[in-house]
Chains A and B, each alone.
Chain A
Amino acid sequence: MTEKEIKKTSTQSPSVIPLKAKFRVTVIFFIVLAFYLFSSFKTESSITEFIDGIGNMGELFQKFFPPNLSLFQAIWPALADTIQMAIIATTAAGILCIPLSLLAANNVTTNKILYNIVRFLLNILRTIPDLVLAVIFVALFGIGALPGIIALVIFSLGLLAKLISETIEAIDMNPLEAMQASGANTIQTIYYAVVPQVLPQFTSFVLYVFEINIRASVVLGLVGAGGIGQILDQQIKFYEYPNAMGIIIIIFALVVIIEYISTKVREAIV
């Protein structure tokens, strides 16, 4: 082989990654990077500032520590409110989502128009953050637990109905056909063929949404919608940082404990 020929074959040897893909990946990489730098600039996120911040961390520790955990007794009523709000909201959402998720499952609701309308509404429902809903309901109903509960119900309804309608869409349709063929009506068919198939997942999803609701209901108080968040908000406004940290740690413990229990129960069910 002459040198020329070798050169030729070497340029022809295919690169491991096709050139076009390589080019595309590089372009995407730089776009993402550029957008990131731009975002950082716009949000004034800079490493130096963060390092300054880390310096402040020492200060922060001094401010926040030692957390005042002795206020547990004082805040227990508000904490109980928080849990109770989540329980009521999850229960209500669990009940209300049943008709909605049937309507949003295309194997039960064969009417395309109705199905699409319900899906569309559920999707919109899920885009509105719970705290924003809480702001509006506090304005409507006044400060207290009720607006918080309603906000949680509406928010979790969208999520729950979506999860459960997807479960319904995945069920085995054969038993439904058998029930229909034996003369059962629609309600009987749903009760005997759909319910047993979705019940375990339903319970699991309701518990999952309960976990989410606990976390959400903890912060609802920031906008006056009841629960522990209201106290946290006050303490921060009064610069009572050790108290605030105490509350945050208690909240943290609450979330961890409830998530642990809920996960165990869900594992046992499914």
Chain B
Amino acid sequence: MMHNLPPKPKRSTFKTVRNILIGVILAGIYIWTFMGIDIDFAKAVDRMTNNYARIIPKLLDPDWSALSDVWAAMVETIYIAFAGSLMAAILAIPLGFLAAQNMTNNRVLTTIGKWILSAIRAFPDIILAILFIVVVGPKPFAGVLAIAIGSTGMLGKLYSEVLESIDTNVVEAMEANGANKLQILVHGILPQITPEFLSYAIYRFEIDVRASTILGIVGAGGIGTLIVFAKMNRNWEEMGLILLMIIVVVTVIDLISTQIRKRLV
């Protein structure tokens, strides 16, 4: 039987070259990665088998006698996250306006605003914490500042996106009515942006609670401080309780915050 096969697909040379290029680059990256990384699996497995019994069962058997300490540290974590988030929620407002094209009407300013915001976002929270510890010393306040600055980057970006998407007809109508800039801001813009700004700020608080749990690892307060002690003392039962505390509290805060945000928007 003669097969009447379809014509071969016509691929543009550009696409072919592009696909080959992508393939080569990817292959290169993976070869570099697997040649470069040096992991002694035998040793790691060996250690794992030695350490397993010393750690895992204890993690699953939390030390409840440490509950009040762990709880206190968790509460401090929440304070850090809250103070930091709120500072960021406010700091991000001017930056958000600066980075919103339709608010500044100035290309240069907008670009500067966007650059500042993405520069801030490039710093991992914990590195900011390291810097602020040098400034204010190793205490929760350094954590608050790290969270505040770190969150400003993301919130400012989200705010500017909200601002760029508002309905400008309302603003125009008010301008036509003879309203001044401040009146337009209060009656034309604020009602449009407030729910979304709030919703993002609360969302960021969720993230910040998670972020604050580890700040203590570099000395910036919160439950991370206990993690360092538990690790040093090989107190894995306490580590188990810390883990459990983080899981439960973060989950509960996520649930509450999701509910609040649902109602806001």
Contact (Cβ within 8 A) A219 B134: no
Evaluate contact between A135 and B231: CB separation under 8 angstroms. yes
Q: Which residues of A contact B213 (CB under 8 A)?
A: 129, 132
State the main secondary structure of chain B at its contact with A: helix
Whether the pair A145, B39 counts as a contact (CB closer than 8 A) is yes
| Known A50-B145, A135-B231, A140-B52: A43·B79 in contact at CB below 8 Å | yes
Chain B residue with minimal CB distance to A147?
B44
Complex CA–CA separation, A36 to B82 (angstroms): 7
Taking CB atoms and an 8 Å cut-off, the chain A residues in 83-132 that contact chain B are 83-85, 87-88, 91, 123-124, 127-129, 131-132
User: Among the listed A87, A131, A252, which residue makes an inter-chain contact with B126, where contact means beta carbons less than 8 Å apart?
Assistant: A131
**Contact residues in B for A144 (Cβ distance below 8 Å):** 39-40, 44
Chain B residues with CB under 8 A of A88: 33-34, 37
B124, A136: Cβ atoms closer than 8 Å:
no
How many contacts A-B (CB < 8 Å)?
167
A residues less than 8 Å from B144 (CB atoms): 40, 43, 45
Q: Mark B137-177, 1 if CB is under 8 A from A, else 0.
A: 00111011100000000000000000000000000000000
Question: How many angstroms between the C-alpha atoms of A40 and B242 in the bound complex?
Answer: 24
Q: Is the CB of B126 within 8 A of A222?
A: yes
A56/B246 in contact, CB under 8 A: no
Q: Is A139 interfacial (CB 8 A cutoff)? A: yes
* B250: chain A residues within 8 A (beta carbon): 127
A49 to chain B, nearest CB (A): 6
Chain B residues within 8 Å of A131, by CB? 126, 214, 217, 224
Q: How far is the CB of A73 from chain B (nearest CB, A)?
A: 16
Contact partners of A85 in chain B: CB under 8 A = 37
User: How far is the CB of B246 from the nearest CB of chain A, in Å?
Assistant: 6
A141–B246 CB distance below 8 A: no
Assess whether B38 is in contact with A145, with CB atoms less than 8 Å apart. Answer: yes
Q: Is the CB of B217 within 8 A of A124?
A: no
Closest CB in chain A relative to B211 CB, distance in Å? 8
Q: Which chain B residue shows the least CB distance to A56?
A: B135
Query: Is A223's CB within 8 Å of the partner chain B?
Result: yes
| Smallest CB gap from B248: residue in A | A127
Tell me the residues in window 46-92 of chain A with beta carbons closer than 8 Å to chain B beta carbons: 46, 49-50, 52-54, 56-57, 60, 63-64, 80-81, 83-85, 87-88, 91
- Residues of chain A within 8 A (CB-CB) of B33 are 83-84, 87-88
Contact across chains for B140 and A43 when beta carbons are under 8 A apart:
yes
Interface size on B, residues (CB 8 A): 66
A124 close to B247 (CB less than 8 A)? yes
Closest to B37 in A: A84
Instruction: Give Cα distance in the complex from A81 to B34, angstroms.
Output: 10
| Interface residue? A202 (CB, 8 A) | no
Name A43's contact: one of B34, B134, B221, B243 (CB within 8 Å).
B221
Number of A residues near B (Cβ < 8 Å) is: 62
B123 on the interface (CB 8 Å rule)?
A: yes
Interface residue A171 (Cβ < 8 Å from any Cβ of B): no
CB pair A43–B247 under 8 Å, yes or no, is no
Q: Is B103 an interface residue (CB 8 A)?
A: no
Instruction: Evaluate whether A40 and B83 lie within 8 angstroms (CB atoms) in the complex, with A131-B217, A248-B127, A252-B122 already known.
Output: yes
Determine the chain A residues whose CB is within 8 A of the CB of B231 once the complex forms. Answer: 135, 139, 223
Q: Are B55 and A136 in contact (CB under 8 A)?
A: yes
Task: Specify which of A46, A63, A129, A135 is in contact with B134 (CB 8 Å cutoff).
Answer: A63
Determine if B48 is an interface residue (Cβ-Cβ < 8 Å).
yes
Task: Find out whether the CB atom of A50 lies under 8 angstroms from the CB atom of B48.
Answer: no
Q: Is B43 an interface residue (CB 8 A)?
A: yes
B100 at the interface (CB under 8 A from A): no
CB distance from B124 to the nearest CB of A (A): 5
Cα–Cα distance between A129 and B214 once the two chains are bound (Å): 7
A sample of 8 more A-B contacts (CB under 8 A), given A49-B136, A142-B44, A146-B39, is: A42-B76, A53-B135, A84-B33, A124-B247, A132-B213, A132-B242, A142-B43, A256-B119
Report 27 cross-chain contacts, Cβ distance below 8 Å, ordered by A residue. A36-B86, A43-B76, A43-B80, A43-B83, A43-B144, A44-B140, A44-B141, A45-B83, A50-B145, A53-B145, A54-B135, A63-B134, A81-B36, A84-B37, A127-B210, A131-B217, A131-B224, A136-B55, A136-B59, A136-B239, A140-B52, A142-B43, A215-B124, A223-B231, A252-B119, A252-B122, A255-B124
